[in-house]
């Protein structure tokens, strides 16, 4: 199956903005809007958007300055006017919205006893759109199977490299049984980016045998899934904390396959960070997928625990 990008339509992007800025996105046109990766709102500056990693402001947008009321509206709408329901995400500097999109928040922070409790004022927002690429994992999926069994796999790349997009499609492949019989997958979707849960339903295609816990710390969610849902595979995005490592160890010890992602520009970065060094030392993962972007082309290199794997080019 050739990878097919599911474009987010113009209306879905525009509705995240207040009525004063919505027409700007709509007037941009469908083609330009489809490739838009992010929208950036900075107080006192014109609205801008990001395409292929580059930020730009069309000339017709330059007179439309983002106001504090615009920023306030975006957050009110994203949080359904319910700060109590989204406070934990807010404290971590982001909000997840319907469709699996994420709003990053910047501003002056209120601290209490060394811990951030809220934002005093908000100066900028980054609305990052979640793009689904169905089929992107299928060419590399067979490389992750050994003796008919899916191997524990770690995907790594720099931020924005496409780890989450790849993991999402891997989950779909496993859950729907692409090249393998369908397996029960449990997903710890702490930030709601993998599956885009909204009102109890996944907004992204993650397969028909997938169970999701969202909004819960990864380590806790993984153990809940392990104990309660009888999974055959568990997946989590961005293993970063020591408790995530402990959860991964427990999962591996139970014979459940684990799929995860980590930040790292190169394999050497994985060795440098203590938590990943520990993961390697304990030989929890047997396959590594290294994503890098060269001349605008995303490349996926499979690294086995013992040897280097083949190169696979996907544009």
Please, what is the minimum distance in Å from the beta carbon of residue 80 to other proteins?
4
Please, what is the minimum distance in Å from the beta carbon of residue 77 to other proteins?
6
Nearer to other proteins, 22 or 263 (CB): 22
Nearer to other proteins, 76 or 283 (CB): 76
Residue with tokens 């692409």: 178
**Dist CA 102 CA 164 (whole Å):** 13
Nearer to other proteins, 46 or 74 (CB): 74
3-state helix, strand, coil in the chain (%, to 5): 30, 35, 35
DSSP state of 255: T
Nearest to 46 by CA among 65, 24, 68: 65
66, 43 Cβ separation under 8 angstroms: yes
308, 290 Cβ separation under 8 angstroms: no
Angle at which helices 218-228 and 242-253 cross, to 10°: 20
Q: Note the residues at the interface with other proteins (CB under 8 A).
A: 18-19, 73, 76-77, 79-85, 87
Nearest to 24 by CA among 55, 47, 42, 53: 47
Give the pair of three-digit tokens for residue 217: 């710390």
Nearer to other proteins, 7 or 73 (CB): 73
284, 252 Cβ separation under 8 angstroms: yes
Nearer to other proteins, 9 or 76 (CB): 76
Nearer to other proteins, 74 or 247 (CB): 74
Q: What is the number of residues in the chain? A: 315
6, 129 Cβ separation under 8 angstroms: no
**Dist CA 232 CA 226 (whole Å):** 9
Q: Which residues pair with 286 in a beta bridge?
A: none
Please, what is the minimum distance in Å from the beta carbon of residue 15 to other proteins?
8
**Dist CA 252 CA 112 (whole Å):** 38
Please, what is the minimum distance in Å from the beta carbon of residue 31 to other proteins?
27
Nearer to other proteins, 55 or 76 (CB): 76
CA dihedral 136, 138, 142, 143 (to 10 degrees): -10
Nearer to other proteins, 75 or 259 (CB): 75
């Amino acid at each position: 199956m050739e990878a097919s990008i599911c474009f987010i339509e113009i209306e879905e992007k525009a509705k995240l903005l207040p009525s004063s800025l919505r027409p700007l996105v709509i007037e941009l046109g469908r083609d330009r809007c489809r490739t838009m990766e992010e929208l950036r709102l900075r107080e006192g500056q014109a609205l801008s958007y990001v395409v292929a990693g580059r930020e730009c402001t069309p000339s017709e947008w330059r007179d439309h300055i983002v106001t504090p009321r615009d920023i306030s509206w975006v957050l009110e709408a994203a949080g359904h006017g319910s700060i109590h329901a989204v406070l934990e995400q807010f404290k971590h500097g982001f909000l997840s919205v319907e469709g699996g999109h994420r709003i990053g928040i910047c501003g002056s922070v209120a601290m209490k006893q060394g811990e951030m409790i809220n934002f005093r004022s908000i100066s900028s927002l980054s609305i990052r759109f979640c793009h689904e690429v169905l089929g992107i994992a299928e060419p590399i999926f067979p490389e992750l199977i050994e003796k008919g069994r899916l191997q524990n796999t770690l995907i790594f790349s720099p931020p924005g490299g496409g780890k989450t997009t790849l993991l999402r499609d891997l989950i779909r492949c496993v859950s729907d049984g692409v090249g393998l019989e369908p397996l029960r997958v449990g997903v710890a979707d702490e930030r709601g980016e993998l599956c885009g849960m909204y009102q109890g339903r996944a907004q992204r295609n993650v397969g028909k045998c997938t169970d999701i816990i969202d909004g819960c710390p990864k380590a806790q969610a993984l153990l809940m899934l392990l104990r309660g849902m009888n999974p055959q595979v568990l997946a989590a995005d961005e293993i970063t904390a020591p408790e995530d490592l402990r959860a991964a160890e427990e999962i591996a010890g139970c014979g459940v396959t684990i799929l995860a992602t980590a930040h790292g520009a190169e394999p050497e970065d994985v060795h440098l960070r203590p938590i990943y060094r520990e993961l390697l030392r304990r030989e929890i993962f047997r396959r590594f997928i290294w994503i890098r972007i060269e001349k605008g082309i995303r490349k996926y290199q499979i690294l086995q625990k013992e040897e280097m794997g083949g190169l696979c080019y996907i544009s």
